[in-house]
Structure 1
Amino acid sequence: MKKWRSLAAALFSVALSFGLAPQARAEGGAGPEAMSMGNMCMVMFGYDMIHITVFQPDKSRSEYCAEIPATGRTIMAFDIENPAFRDLPLEVRVIRDPLTPTLPTGADLEALTELHLPPKKYTKGTFSVEHDFANDGHYITLVTLTRENGEQQTEMMKFMVGETLWAWVPQIAGTILIAGMVFVYWKHTHPTPKKKEANETVAS
Structure 2
Amino acid sequence: MITRGLTAWLLATVLFSSSGYGHGGVGMVDNRCVLRIGPDLMFFTGYQPQSTREEFCDDIPTAGQTVVVLDMQDTELRDMLMEIRIIKDLGTHRRTNGLPVLTDAELASPEVLDPVTIAYVPAKKYPSGTLNFVHTFPDNGKFIGIVSVKNIHGQTYVSQFPFAVGQPLGKSLALYGMMIAGLFGTVYGLWYYGRTQKPHSQKKPA
Fold shared, TM-score > 0.5 on shorter chain: yes
Give the conservation status (yes or no) of the 8 Å contact 1:39–1:64: no
CA shift digits 1:11-49 (9 cap, x unpaired): xxxxxxxxxxxx8342321xxx44324462322322x21
- Cα shift at 1:68: 1.1
1:68 and 1:34 map into 2 onto residues whose CA distance is 13
Cα RMSD over matched residues? 2.7
Task: Give the deviation of 1:89 after TM superposition.
Answer: 0.7
1:111-157, Cα deviation, whole Å (9 max, x unpaired): 11121111100000002111100121222211111111122221112
Q: TM-score, normalised by structure 2?
A: 0.64
2:146–2:159: 8 Å Cα contact kept in structure 1?
A: yes
Cross-structure match for 1:44: 37
- 2:16 is aligned with 1:24: no
Aligned in 2, Cα 1:49/1:25: closer, same or farther, shift over 3 Å? closer
Superposition pairs for residues 69-80 of structure 1, below 5 Å? 69-80=61-72
Which residue number in structure 1 is paired with residue 48 of structure 2? 56
Q: What secondary structure sits across from 2:77 in the alignment?
A: helix
The structure with the largest alpha-carbon Rg is 1
- The runs of 4+ residues in structure 1 deviating greater than 6 Å are none
What CA distance in whole angstroms lies between the structure 2 residues aligned with 1:67 and 1:147?
Answer: 29
Which of 155, 165, 172 matches 1:167? 172
Which residue in the other structure is 1:180 paired with? none
Q: Which structure 2 residues correspond to residues 179-190 of structure 1 after superposition, within 5 A?
A: none
Please list the CA deviations of residues 157-177 of structure 1 after superposition, one character each: whole Å capped at 9, or x if unmatched.
Answer: 222110247435336769xx9
Q: Percent sequence identity over matched residues?
A: 25
Structure 2 segments unaligned to the other structure (5+ residues): 1-17, 96-100, 183-206
Aligned twin of 1:96:
88
Distance in 2 (alpha carbons) for counterparts of 1:39 and 1:161: 21
Change (3 A) 1:125 1:169: same
Between Structure 1 and Structure 2, how many residues are aligned? 151
Secondary structure of the structure 2 residue equivalent to 1:135: coil
Letter aligned with residue 81 of structure 2: P
Corresponding residue for residue 124 of structure 2: 120
Residues 61, 146 of structure 1: CA spacing in aligned structure 2 closer, same or farther, 3 A cutoff? Answer: same
Give TM-score, length-normalised by structure 1: 0.64
| Greater mean alpha carbon deviation, residues 161-170 or residues 74-83 | 161-170
Alpha-carbon distance change, 172 to 86 in structure 1, aligned in 2, over 3 angstroms: closer
Q: 1:194 matched to which residue of 2?
A: none
Alignment match, 2:76: 84
